[in-house]
Structure formats: structure tokens, C-alpha cells
Structure 1
Amino acid sequence: MTAGTTTVGLEIDDAGLARVTLRRGEAGNAIDLDLARGLLQAARACAREAVRAVLLTGEGKSFCVGGDLREFSRLSGEALEKHLTAVTDALHDALRTFAASDAPVVAAVQGSVAGAGIGLAAAADVTLAADDASFTAAYTGIGYSPDAGVSWFLPRLVGPKRALDLLLTNRRVPAAEAAAIGLVSRAVAPDRLTAEAERTAEALRGGPTTAFGATRRLVTAGLTTDLGPHLDREARALAAAAASDTGREGVAAFLGKRAPDFTRIPPRP
């Protein structure tokens, strides 16, 4: 399946891997209203088609430099407020839709990553960064506050003290430091970024999608839940996983000394 918009490309192959591509490379993939809506459309298509994994990339030199300030600067007052609300509503709905899916998301980021671009990178389950990529919060530098989940993700990934350092000072964080503090999963050589991201997404595509979904939700819930209730949640999730087709295939493969074939089990819509 090939779909998408002029600003966000979407390809879903027969094996269930969705490739979502930001297509405003000439503008650093800055997020305007069209791109935000295109990302939401892509997220909904992935949910509708019950994909097994998502690979998120950006065309051009930079993954995403944040909001499109040129677009925003053409408006003022109430018109600007309404416009930014429309942009963030679409962008945030896209993030919610990806997060609600069982399919893990892999992001490959290069060049400058700023503002909402950090939110997109942080929202992915596995984020690979080119060695020469850099990250800058940027919001307060122009008198804005964060969006795209940045103020939610950063404290959880790097800790509240370091998150405030990044958000208030807007200092540039090179890829090596981003990996060291947990902002990204790992940094790779620029000429290996695409291949490594594809390899990671393909591996996840062939995995136990429903178990991935349960694991994603447990990790997220565990950040805000006391241990006791979380242990109960884990127990229920494990019992459901064990009784599922995915769990039965995994155990049968282990006992039969063979590789499991999770791809024969359709992902949940």
C-alpha cells in the first residue's frame, strides 16, 4: 500500500512494515499544518491496516527542525492561536495514535533535530541518530513553550533536572551525548543510519506484535503507577499473552527448538 500526502509519505509493504517519511526536506521538515495533518493521516492508516512495525524518517539534511516559524509568522493574535491549536491538535493526535498501537516505532534521525522534532524522536520506541546529528529544544529561545510531548518525554528519558537544563538553556546536544543521557537509543555512523534503521524495523516487524504492544503499555504505565497496582497489571498482561496465539507459538517454538513464526499471526487492528 502506498499513500500519504505531499508532505508525509506512507508505504506499507505486504509484510506489514510501514515507512512514514517526512517530505519537506527543503524546509528541514518543519512542521506546518499540512505536515501535521499528513502525519495524523499516516498514523490512522497504520492503525487501520494493523501494521507490525513503523519506520519514521525525514528526507533531506535534517530529520525535523520543529515548527514552521515562517508559516506561524504570517499570522498574529487570535488567528495565530487558532492556527497553532490546529497544528498541535493534529500532531498530538498522531502521537496518540502511534502510541495506542501494538506496532513498535523506529525513528532514524539526522542533521538538526529541534523543537517538535525532538518530540517525534523521543516518542519512538527505538531512536537511532546519525553521529553528526544534534538536538536543541529551541522553544524558549523564541519565547514559546514545548509541544509534541517534549515536556512529557524529556523528564522521563533524561530526568527532570537535565530536561529543564535542555529546555531552558537550549544548548546543543550532540548525538553521542544524546545517546549517553538516554534521549536516543544509540548513535551510528551517518552512512549506516538508513541500513541500521531498516534492519531494526525489519526485525521488529517479524516479532510478536501483540506482546510488543503489551510491553509498550506496561512501560508507559509503570512511569506513573505505584508498584503494587503495576504488578497486578503485569500479571494480567502476562496471563493474556500466554493464552494468546502469539504466546502459544512462542512457547511451541522454544520447546520444539525452532525459530518462532509470529508473522503468521495477524496483528490486532
Structure 2
Amino acid sequence: MAQDFETIALNIEDGVATLTLNRPDRLNSFTDAMHAEVRSALELIRAGRADGSVRAMVLTGAGRGFCAGQDLSDRSVSAGDAAPDLGVSVEKNYKPLVMALRALDMPVIAAVNGVAAGAGANLALACDLVFAARSASFIQAFCKLGLIPDTGGTWILPRLLGPARAMGLAMLGDKLPADQAEAWGLIWKCVDDDALMPTVSALAKQMAAGPTVGFAQTKKAIWASSTQDFSTQLDMERDMMRACGQSDDYREGVAAFMEKRTPRFTGR
């Protein structure tokens, strides 16, 4: 299944929705129009999860870049005669975008195929698993413009890297190569360029065929853990374990284990 868009591409196949940012001539930088199309695509993906046709998502970019962040020539943020209110853009576009990704009831995998800069870097880091091509890099470019990391950057970076490395990336704007990002624990894995999409596609299909009820609860619990105390987290684990234990996926997993066969999960 494919859906027609102007600035992105959406393909749904084998239970996997692949959303490709598709403005390669501008390194897939965001405009208001692109944000609107991504929102529409995410609505389709949520609908696919409800009817069972989508059980995992891949986010990637077309051409030689993943996403260069905000397109500074876009009228909504262009620093022309009147100073723009960039807070409006954050509230209208970037906050809903990362919140929607985090709330998706399925695994969300970023395939970073090239430079991920500014909001583009933090968009990738908001996904559940991040794979990057060896030639890719991550740049917190905000400081070059007198800005702060947005799209969740000030929340995600210190939690993944600690305050020292987060502060260095945010205040210096240095390019972080993909292999170093993996070594630091910023991303899950760095792979050779020609292996990126085959690796991510195979994993997404594997996860789409897996126990997606449990995956969805796992991602919610891990994301919540940084803002909850230990006792509250244990209570969340109890409640989520109870919900998972009542799912068709759990019944199928146990039956397959007892019968020594491959489970056939339905995501219910």
C-alpha cells in the first residue's frame, strides 16, 4: 500500500509502515507543509495499528541526508523584517511530532541514512531504536543560530549521555559520527551504509510479526522510568504485566512454547 504525498513518502507492507522524509534537495528539512503531511501519515499509521495492518514503523530520509532540521527559508520561521516567534513552531509542530512518535502503540525504528542535524537529530533520538549508516552523523546545530536544542533534545541528551556530553554537544555543536554515537550509547547500532535499509527492514518485519502488545507496553514503561520513582515504576510494571497476561499474544506465546513451535502473534 502506498499513499501519495508531496514532501514525504509512506509505504505500508508486511505490517511495516515506512515513512520517508522526501525533500532530498533540502536534506529533508521541515516546512509547515511537511509537518502537516507527517501528521496525516501518522494518523494513517495509527489507523493501521487499530485494524492490524501496521505493527511497526520505520522513519528514514531520502537522498544523502536523514533530516537537517527546520528549513530556515520556510516563511513561518524565516528571520525577515519581523522576528519570528519560534516558540509557536515548537508548540505547533515539533512537540506534537515527537509526542506522536512516542505514543505510537508499536516499535518505531529510525534508519538514519545521512546527516541528522538540529531537530532532525532529536527526531531520530525520539524513536525507540536508532540505526545509523556509518557515514551518518548527528549535530546539535542549534547553538550555531543562537538557539537551544528543541524537539526534546534537552530532555533526551542528558538521559542518554549524561550532563557532560549532553552539554558539550548542545553548546559546541560538534559533529558526532555514527560510530561514536553508538559507542557513547546515543543510538542502538551503526552499520555499513549499504546494510542500513536491509538491516532495518528485516528487523521491522521481525518485530511486526512479534508480540506487539508487549513491545508497546515495554516502550511505555522504559520511557516513563526516567520521571518516576522506583516504587511507582514497580506499580507500573505490575499493571502492565497484568494487561499483557490477558492478551492473545501471551496465550499464543505460552502455547507455542509448550508445543515447541514458532509463535504466531496477532498483536492483540
TM-score, reference length from structure 1? 0.92
Aligned mates of 1:256, 1:94 — CA distance in 2: 43
Query: Is the aligned partner of 1:207 residue 2:210?
Result: yes
Please state how far the C-alpha of 1:266 moved relative to its aligned partner. Answer: 4.8
Quote the residue 2:18 is aligned against. 19
CA-based RMSD = 1.6
Query: Is the aligned partner of 1:91 residue 2:103?
Result: no
Runs of 5+ unmatched residues, structure 2: none
Quote the residue 2:126 is aligned against. 123
CA contact (8 A) 1:104 1:125 kept: yes
Aligned mates of 1:4, 1:74 — CA distance in 2: 32
SS at match of 2:186: coil
Give CA deviations for 1:16-46 in whole Å, capped at 9, x if unaligned. 2101010001100011111112111111211
CA contact (8 A) 2:7 2:23 kept: yes
Instruction: Work out which of the residue numbers 147, 172, 183 in structure 2 matches 1:144.
Output: 147
Aligned mates of 2:82, 2:57 — CA distance in 1: 38
Runs of 5+ unmatched residues, structure 1: none
Give CA deviations for 1:81-119 in whole Å, capped at 9, x if unaligned. 17x624652332122122112211111112211101111
> Match of 1:11, as an amino acid?
N
SS at match of 2:155: helix
Please state how far the C-alpha of 1:54 moved relative to its aligned partner. Answer: 0.2
Please state how far the C-alpha of 1:11 moved relative to its aligned partner. Answer: 1.5
Counting only pairs closer than 5 Å after superposition, residues 183-198 of structure 1 correspond to structure 2 as 183-198=186-201
Query: Is the aligned partner of 1:49 residue 2:48?
Result: yes
Give CA deviations for 1:245-266 in whole Å, capped at 9, x if unaligned. 111111111111111111xx25
Query: Is the aligned partner of 1:172 residue 2:169?
Result: no
Moved more, 160-169 or 67-76: 67-76
Give CA deviations for 1:187-217 in whole Å, capped at 9, x if unaligned. 0001111111111111111111111110001
CA contact (8 A) 1:32 1:87 kept: no
Aligned mates of 2:80, 2:38 — CA distance in 1: 23
SS at match of 2:67: coil
Change (3 A) 1:76 1:246: farther
CA contact (8 A) 1:121 1:184 kept: no
Aligned mates of 1:61, 1:52 — CA distance in 2: 28
Give CA deviations for 1:44-77 in whole Å, capped at 9, x if unaligned. 2111221200011100101011111122336453
Quote the residue 1:103 is aligned against. 106
> Match of 1:253, as an amino acid?
A
Aligned mates of 2:208, 2:82 — CA distance in 1: 46
SS at match of 1:202: helix
> Match of 1:213, as an amino acid?
A
